[in-house]
Structure 1
């Protein structure tokens, strides 16, 4: 018997292979670009953020807290300054009053010192006048500078060179204090005064400042001091004595030739002239000193 025909068996079709099947590693990288660990960390951060405040709100709260703290500090400082201001003003006024009182007291003491100094000088001059006979006392007063003098003499004017401001290099006078060779120095004035004394001057003054046997001519910076009082050029030297003879002897002396060399080599300006009548003031302060003969030397000399 003929059996019933069997239906044909149909096989399940095999799906076609993917073109990128051979590139599975590259495909995995493209499909999962974020590493699993990073993905988990991002998920935890997101979950924590959802449960707290937004970042912008937290920043605003922090800023507000800082501003409140700063305002509090400024307010407290202003309150303290306001409280301390009257106290500081009072202390300042007290300090100013104290300075004014001390300044007034110092001025009074200075006036008293000046009066006492003038009194002492007057007594010293009087003592020099009344010591011994009148002629000798008068001579001592003139030589010591205790009294005013007038008479014939010499007027010598010494001034800096016209180009003194520009100066020069290498000073043959061996100065370390003046870079300008056209400036009159204290050493120059010392030689001028000593030369006048040696030439026969009986009394000398520089710019109205009377010189004595104890006077000092020094320098302080660029200024020349006579008995600690600064002088400014031109330096006018008045010397009482025999005018014509004093002028001639000084110009022929070593100090006069030195002054002439300064004029020729450094441009220092000088002029000298004999005068019929000069008036020199008394020295502002005269120191009275006494001396006793040395009897031991006298005895040795006579024995």
Structure 2
């Protein structure tokens, strides 16, 4: 098997590892194979191996906005958190897919570059943030992304411009193509470093005040329907604080579901489905998940 040959060559590949070790919800079944490539060359070799071995390939970043079902994931799961270099040149910041969005935003700030203040508290990776067009406080990745360098599933390297990324609310073209984000470059604007940092610290304080950061969660669960706010609807429906197993709709922010202890991915999904059903019945509104849900049932 090509994949196991790569393991013998020193690429970090593990077998049957619970993905709950890596998700922010602390839930999720095992990966059949799990790899932590240290560089782009290793990513390329791993992708090629899945084609040769004809096994599925799943890419994961910081797993902060992700629910992995309790049955886990067949084939190879690649976690890109070892690819985390951040470079600053002039008014541009370039970060590897596994670099944390928070670290990238602060690197920009310390170089007096403005534009990523909104992202100062987003816990995901650059790859995941670009994939999802992550956003907060009225701003999104699409406003600052200059270009994105990817590896296609067929093994081709290519670079997308901002326009070619086809960004929209929590969407980018790589969701459709399956391309693997390797690096992203951000075009920013010079500004006083202390002003930038003050804004970032303010937004992070606001986040700590409003969000249930003291518990494991997958962040904001649902996309915002046009003309409505999810949290107030959940409260009006009497679902805030609702608990299924170890998963609870947060009493601090109704748009979050937290792991109060011992939750499974199935608990999360059952609570999500309950909220969707009740909101549809009471308000006639379809709630769609912002959180990415992958893997197989147990």
TM-score by length of 1: 0.19
Higher RCO (CA-CA < 8 Å; seq separation 6+): 1
Q: Which has the larger radius of gyration?
A: 1
Name the one with the larger helix percent.
Answer: 1
Name the one with the larger strand percent.
Answer: 2
